């Protein structure tokens, strides 16, 4: 067989292998998210526990827990460039000091749309008195910043990503490296349409099917081309 035929055949086989690997990668992603969903289910089948120490929170990812302490109204953050129901806006992040502890939990109190007024923030003040809140504990995911912004130290500070090293430097507050999503029924919050932490398992399965179908179609095309060349 000449190089004129070998090269296209090699490219077709390599592309098919690549497409199939993408399909299996999407199936692996779906399996990972099934495992996370199972962890979330196991984490929230019992009584909602009252957490009183910092160390306990580090082992409570996905758990709904109760916290006692107080918000730090004077040191809030605006987590910008968020989309909820196709509306742009921001999340309000408020430090919450546990009673008798030295570190704070960053509580996401919900979403506020910009409504075309990026020059004016909503009233996000919160009572700093002793209170009890219910949150779901999640590990923060640092997203990529499309544009590095110059952070100021005048609160509330607008941030584009959750980087606790930067946040601690700005606020002079030590944080437990978790995020608490405020329960939708709790007071002192805003719009809280929390999406599942895992995302859509069906979406990954759909992508996998697409990759496999593309590999199948390309394989059929390759077979057809080979048969034509053979008949010649």
What is the SS3 string spanning the chain? CCHHHHHHHHHHHHHHHHHHHHHHHHHHHHHHHHHHHHHHHHHCCCCCEEECCHHHHCCCCCCEEEEEEEECHHHCEEEEEEEECCEEEEEEEEEEEECCCCCEEEEEEEEEECCCCCCCCCCCCCCCCCEEEEEEEECCCCCCCCCCCCCCCCCCEEECCCCHHHHHHHHCCCEEEEEEEECCCCCCCCECCCCCCCCCHHHHHHHHHHHHHHHHHHHHHHHHHHHHHHHC
Confidence of residue 137 (pLDDT cuts 50, 70, 90): very high
Cα of 144 vs its chain's centroid, Å? 12
For residue 59, give every residue at least 6 positions away whose Cβ sits within 8 Å of its Cβ, in sequence order, or none.
none
232 has pLDDT over 70: no
Q: Tens digit of pLDDT for each residue in 8-39?
A: 778 888 999 999 999 999 999 888 788 777 77
Q: Tens digit of pLDDT for each residue in 139-166?
A: 887 665 545 456 667 899 999 999 999 9
194 has pLDDT over 60: yes
């Amino acid at each position: 067989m000449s190089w004129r035929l070998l090269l296209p055949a090699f490219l077709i086989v390599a592309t098919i292998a690549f497409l199939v690997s993408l399909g299996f990668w999407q199936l692996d992603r779906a399996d990972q998210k099934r495992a996370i969903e199972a962890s979330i289910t196991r984490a929230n089948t019992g009584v909602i526990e009252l957490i009183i120490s910092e160390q306990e929170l580090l082992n409570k990812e996905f758990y709904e827990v109760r916290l006692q302490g107080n918000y730090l109204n004077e040191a809030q953050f605006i987590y910008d460039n968020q989309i909820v129901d196709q509306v742009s806006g921001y999340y309000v992040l408020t430090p919450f000091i546990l009673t008798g502890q030295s570190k704070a939990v960053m509580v996401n109190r919900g979403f506020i749309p910009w409504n075309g007024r990026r020059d004016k923030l909503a009233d996000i003040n919160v009572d700093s008195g002793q209170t009890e809140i219910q949150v779901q504990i999640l590990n923060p995911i640092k997203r990529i910043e499309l544009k590095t912004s110059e952070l100021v130290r005048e609160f509330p500070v607008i941030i584009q990503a959750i980087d606790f090293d930067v946040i601690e430097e700005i606020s002079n507050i030590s944080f437990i490296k978790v995020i608490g999503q405020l329960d939708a029924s709790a007071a002192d919050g805003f719009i809280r349409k929390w999406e599942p932490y895992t995302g859509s398992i069906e979406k990954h399965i759909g992508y996998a099917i697409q990759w496999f179908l593309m590999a199948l179609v390309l394989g059929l095309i390759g077979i057809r081309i080979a048969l034509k060349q053979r008949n010649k």
